[in-house]
Structure 1
Amino acid sequence: MDGQPTADVVDQVKDIPIYRTSVERGHFPILEKPEIADGFPDNWMTPRLAAALAAGEAEFVLSTGTNHARMQIIRPPYFLLNSYYKLWSEHPDISATWEAGCQRVSLTTVLATEHVARVNAKKRGGEPEAVPPLDDRRLDARTLYLNLRLDPALWERDDVVRMLAEIRTAQQAHPRGWYHLDCSGYHLAHLVQKARAWGLWEDFPQPASIIHAYEYTPLNVRRHLREHFTCPVVDLFGSTELGYLYYSDRHGHYRPYLDEMSVELVPVAPGSRIHSLIVSSVRNPYMPLIRYRSGDCARTLDGSPDPEKISRFCGREKELLATPHGPVAQADLDDRIADASPRVFLHQLHVTAGEAVLHHTTFDGEPLDPRACAVLERELRGLTGLRSRIEHREHIPVGKSGKYAWLVQDR
């Protein structure tokens, strides 16, 4: 399948300047991010879009830019939130918590919290406070953002006490004591660790459902969350510009959620079983993306380019590590770490011309035993083709985006 759009999709995009040449030629090439930015927004402007912008039915926003350059896009207000709510309301494992009217508390990057505070301040015609109070961190009647610090590893006891109290407020608002916890898996794991360390675990209200949706969640972090929470824990995969495309069930198996979308898989290199996601979507009527390279990578159950068989989203294409055996993705390293020891929490691979050094923290703060280190060093050599070392760290700093980089290269 060449991924070319159907006639009805072509009809929807034929007046958009960026696609005119493709319509004339009868062939749509893969759309790269720089092409979207080149000449923006004129390359997207139509009378319909201009009218929508004037009426407030469309708005300019920036993608998160956590793993690539930030990209300006145009979309309906609350496009991503509505995509989230729709999927939550239809998810077979957790739709009951949507129908029950649960409050949603979101524990993710401080940048997300600051965005909500700015939106609310703009509505009031003012500037956001340096430390936004609870009411300024409400995205809508249903969603509250918790995090006020860049690095969750540096949360202090007062931060944890405050966040647990705000979670309890959301829980107590529901007649059955239910709430929905939306998170970065890393952030929630940090909160679990700190609540346990400071004797606050009994004060942690148990959620009725959990979604982690903001970045790749390592296998050990997923396992850690499932050990501490009895409710369904599911993963969503999507992006600012596309909305959500896939969801996992509570057992970790992915299902497509391609409303007004289609997906192609293209090997990232000849012979590789790592595939790049090429997405065609008219879900956003003001900026439909046709054969758009999202920058994400996936593996399938049988190595084939069948998007129905995706078994794993394995990181970003720009963060692939080139090795003598072909490209290596974030998930490839993660698999080997999870097999070697469930105690590894955070990890970051530092690669120079002749050496790969794996920095890692552990859930209990103690170094790995020699046997686990030996296993990891052997796996790392096989994966990278480089001399390898394992180094325990007490702290791996988060990036300025509020997310963790798995790979640091100096080659």
Structure 2
Amino acid sequence: MAPSYGWYGDDFTGATDTLATLARRGQRAFLFLGVPDSRHLAEAGDLDAVGIAGAARTMGPAGMRAELEPVGAFFRTIGVRILHYKCCSTFDSAPERGNIATAIAVLRNHVEHPTVAVIGGQPSLGRYCAFSTLFAAFGEGGEIFRLDRHPTMSRHPATPMTEADLRRHLAFLGLPDVAAIHSPLLIQSADRVHAQWERASDGSSAILFDALEDSHLEAIGRVLRTVSRQRSLLVVGASSVAQAAFEETYATGAQPAAEAGPVLAFVGSLSPTTRRQVAAARSYHQIPVSPEELISDGAYERVADMAARMLAEGRNVMVSTAPENGEAPSAAVADLADRSAVLVDRILDRHPVRRLAVAGGDTSSRIVGALGFWGLGYESQVGNGVAVSTARSDVASRDRMRVLLKGGQMGQEDLFERFLTR
């Protein structure tokens, strides 16, 4: 049977969160790191859901179109009923960077239904959409802020969110005429919700759903399943789309045995959450690297040698390029993610490990792409919104490596310490 669900993650960390969501709901899911060839597709086995991890979140419109056109064609060819464009749960996006409206313009040509569904929240991660306005939790206490007043997201170094009304935000990106289905309707009968979808579809480019709690996702899911059985459908949102699309959950079973040997961690995230996690990572020898050092060949080789030597001694190593004050690097070091990827590749060439953790959405995308993996399977959950994956590679020393990829806002404070038991 062909997979019914396909998803594209606009960064690697978000793509793995959707992989975990699907696996924990009983679906046979696998995440490819590019449009797969027939050999790798066959090696992944029978699947209910197929994912492709990408880096559209960091791209301009032309790059996004070139990236997404073959993705849409692939999903159309294998016949998915729901095509999910997985964006960040905070929808941070700008006209010239990771433009969600550009993604919609490309992918809607590869489904049958002319109207796009957008799910505005992910309650499991503290993201709530009410009357089209997005709110997000912050910090250990989980205080809720409107997104344009959020201490982190309103000041994002690349895509600051200055508008919390998602309809206005999408219009600013280039998607006008977005209708809405708000939370009071979602608690009514399935027939009434579906009838509103049909009415709103007439003349609207997209329909935005509120999402404040799991019951709202259940109501949205009933609409998505009904509509997609008739015509294939493009759905935009966080992993809440996968939560809505599939009803059944299952127990994940026993924790897999921990891998032997040291852990290599690389931190490129600027978020306060990640800085707290780094401070709590007491079992790692930490190697701070300034942006200037990372682009200097001499310092670059010194760091690679130092990290490899410590790993050979059996020590867990954390390399971090994130400044303690969280300030964004200058435009002169805009290629930091690419240099970070080559650095990690060289460390692993000098001393292979079986476990790798990477913090930072853009950084994760570049590093995983540079390591020669062709896919990721779900292994376990290590924190809220953070999964451990089993990486597949044609290179024997890297095949079936356990990999943790986390976005800046994700995970508990002891995340890196907990990864040592995986």
Fold equivalence (TM over 0.5): no
Higher relative contact order at CA 8 Å, sep ≥6: structure 1 or structure 2?
A: 2
Larger radius of gyration: 1
TM-score w.r.t. length of structure 1: 0.28
